[in-house]
Structure 1
Amino acid sequence: MREKTASKLFHIQLKMLLALDFPHKALMIDVLAVLGGLTASLHLLKFTWKCCRGFRQYVWSSRCQANLRAFGQWAVVTGATSGIGKAYATELARRGLDVVLIGRSSKRLQKVAEEIENKYGRKTHTIKVDFTEGGSIYSKIAKELHDLQIGILVNNVGMICNDHFAYFLETPNPEQKITEIINCNILSVPQMTRLVLPPMVLRGRGLIINISSEMGLRPHPLVALYSATKTFSIHFSQCLHAEYKSEGITVQCVTPFMVSTNMTNNMKVNLFVKSAPAFVYDALNTVGHSTFTSGCLSHALQSVAFSILVPDWLRMSTFFIRWLRKRPKIEAGRKEATQEEE
């Protein structure tokens, strides 16, 4: 509203100025015309630059894929038994890496490990831990990873608060749930990074991929805690990349829109909703082309459209919040699935 009011006042003042008769009026009009032309040209250049970056990131990248094997022999994937995590583990194995699978279900870890070994002939190593337990699990993970040359880390594990849009105080069993979500969505990212980053720096190469969310790009009422945890991943990734890019370390943040997984009730795949394998294939192609990505062209376009059609003032309005509250529940499935998928 303030921006609209300021714009109206500016136009009124401009009309009043042009209506006046004073010396050098023609010169002033010419100056304003030049400034307007320069401003339009600047916006056009910015738009063109963004289009070129988008083409490189989402189109050209499929023809110019990075050699992920060059980062190291092993890739570590958290939340690797289903959804995006499983897709990353599988695709990394297909591209020639051995994979460390981390999750909370021994049976599902073993199943994914066997699939990778049988289909791609790559080595696997499984680590059973529950990321909601907090800092106590990382000494075990450190021991399991000690002798492995870790080239890639995918921080994917995450969980949601509710199976529907809800106010913060409606979080079930909040004393426990809030701690679990912070342990899983936030604490896991720097702790896992702490374990694998030092050897990467010594070798002068490494790749860390942090899976955030579109909901981390801007505030989202009714999923406040989840949105806030994903914002952490974005800021942490950007800062970490700035700190260690000179050491040969790439830190990429991925902010997907809707992907068909258990967390999203296995939504039907369409033009807007990607399957996990298809999304991960596109997302891995962006490595070497972008350190901050929506993962695929479809999600990038949706992100732009969403920011225009649902601006901050609307998304934060009481009207919009009440409208969201009427939306149907998202069947979250088992707790196992909600923790291990993004």
Structure 2
Amino acid sequence: MRRLREAVAGLDVGMLVNNAGVAKPGAVYLHEVDVEAWVRMIRVNALALTEVTAAVLPGMLRRGRGAIVNIGSGSSFALPSYPLYSVYVATKRYVLEFSRSLSVEYKSSGIDVQCQVPLLVETNMVSSAARLIRQFVLTPDAYARAAVSWIGHGTLCVPNAVHRLQGWYICFWQDFITDGSLLRRHLKQRVIFRRLRSWRKSQEAGWASDSAKATMRCEL
């Protein structure tokens, strides 16, 4: 953060886009993962976003202009809950409320703060099952084009029409139906993630064993 503040001190930063985010370790119950994993997620999704925003705001205030775009998530906006991703959805809700309040605080100073709320975008965070619904999953380029056109138009927005349609469809169902459907889907993801973690551990153990054997041969 010190290096960042020094780097932006002499720059005319007109726009900041806070887009970094992590969802690892994926679909799990809170007690199943060491607390350090949740702390890492909070550091990226909430703390880093706050620190970087605080670093550029003084320059924007001096110049009387600027735009800050924070990328939230439909999981914290369109859905009643997001089971097995509780910390992730909480951090994204933070982004939404943080953006709303900053917008009110700095609007009169010529600084526009906006939270964009994407739904399904083809990234590593979207499961392969969701990608089967191709007509509802945007490519990163398609989302970016829509996102750019909406900057400066509202504090909270869902830039793409396909995503707005997804949000409307979700609101059609009662909360308990959506909650149950998401829990069942995420429990299936949990099984897949557990298998992947188990496989990775076995691979790492194999590599460590091979490395130890190679070391012994060299010593001999």
Out of 78, 84, 89, the residue aligned to residue 222 of structure 1 is 84
CA–CA separation in structure 2 for the residues paired with 1:269 and 1:143? 45
- The 8 Å contact of residues 219 and 228 in structure 1, kept in 2 or not, is answered as no
Structure 2 residue 83 is matched with structure 1 residue 211: no
CA–CA separation in structure 2 for the residues paired with 1:196 and 1:298? 33
Change (3 A) 1:257 1:221: same
Aligned to 1:180: 40
CA–CA separation in structure 1 for the residues paired with 2:35 and 2:110? 41
Change (3 A) 1:320 1:216: closer
CA–CA separation in structure 1 for the residues paired with 2:47 and 2:103? 18
2:23 alignment partner AA: I
- The 8 Å contact of residues 83 and 186 in structure 2, kept in 1 or not, is answered as no
Structure 2 residue 50 is matched with structure 1 residue 190: yes
Change (3 A) 1:213 1:323: closer
CA–CA separation in structure 1 for the residues paired with 2:75 and 2:133? 20
Out of 175, 191, 204, the residue aligned to residue 312 of structure 1 is 175
- The 8 Å contact of residues 99 and 115 in structure 2, kept in 1 or not, is answered as yes
Higher radius of gyration, 1 or 2:
1
Structure 2 spans left out of the alignment, 5+ residues: 198-220
Change (3 A) 1:169 1:232: same
**Secondary structure class of the residue paired with 1:262:** coil
User: Once the 2 structures are TM-superposed, how far is the Cα of residue 321 of structure 1 from its aligned partner?
Assistant: 2.4
TM value normalised by structure 1: 0.52
- The 8 Å contact of residues 269 and 275 in structure 1, kept in 2 or not, is answered as no
User: Once the 2 structures are TM-superposed, how far is the Cα of residue 140 of structure 1 from its aligned partner?
Assistant: 1.4
- The 8 Å contact of residues 114 and 152 in structure 2, kept in 1 or not, is answered as no
- The within-5 A match list for 1:220-299 is 220-264=82-126, 267=131, 270-299=134-163
CA–CA separation in structure 1 for the residues paired with 2:48 and 2:133? 29
Larger relative helix fraction? 2
- The within-5 A match list for 1:1-342 is 138-163=1-26, 165-171=27-33, 174-217=34-77, 218-264=80-126, 267=131, 270-309=134-173, 311-317=174-180, 321-322=183-184, 324-327=186-189, 329=192
- The 8 Å contact of residues 65 and 110 in structure 2, kept in 1 or not, is answered as yes
RMSD of equivalent CA atoms:
2.3
**Secondary structure class of the residue paired with 1:259:** coil
User: Once the 2 structures are TM-superposed, how far is the Cα of residue 292 of structure 1 from its aligned partner?
Assistant: 0.9
- Count of residues paired in the alignment: 190
**Secondary structure class of the residue paired with 2:46:** helix
CA–CA separation in structure 2 for the residues paired with 1:265 and 1:306? 18
User: Once the 2 structures are TM-superposed, how far is the Cα of residue 329 of structure 1 from its aligned partner?
Assistant: 3.6
- The 8 Å contact of residues 160 and 181 in structure 1, kept in 2 or not, is answered as yes
**Secondary structure class of the residue paired with 2:54:** helix
1:259 alignment partner AA: V
- The 8 Å contact of residues 67 and 113 in structure 2, kept in 1 or not, is answered as yes
TM value normalised by structure 2: 0.78
Further displaced range: 286-295 or 147-156: 286-295
- The 8 Å contact of residues 201 and 249 in structure 1, kept in 2 or not, is answered as yes
Change (3 A) 1:169 1:270: same
Structure 1 spans left out of the alignment, 5+ residues: 1-137, 333-342
User: Once the 2 structures are TM-superposed, how far is the Cα of residue 215 of structure 1 from its aligned partner?
Assistant: 1.0
- The 8 Å contact of residues 204 and 247 in structure 1, kept in 2 or not, is answered as yes
Deviations 1:286-333 (A, max 9, x none): 123222112211001101211222x3233445x76245413474789x
CA–CA separation in structure 2 for the residues paired with 1:300 and 1:182? 27
Further displaced range: 257-266 or 285-294: 257-266
CA–CA separation in structure 2 for the residues paired with 1:200 and 1:269? 41
CA–CA separation in structure 2 for the residues paired with 1:275 and 1:323? 22
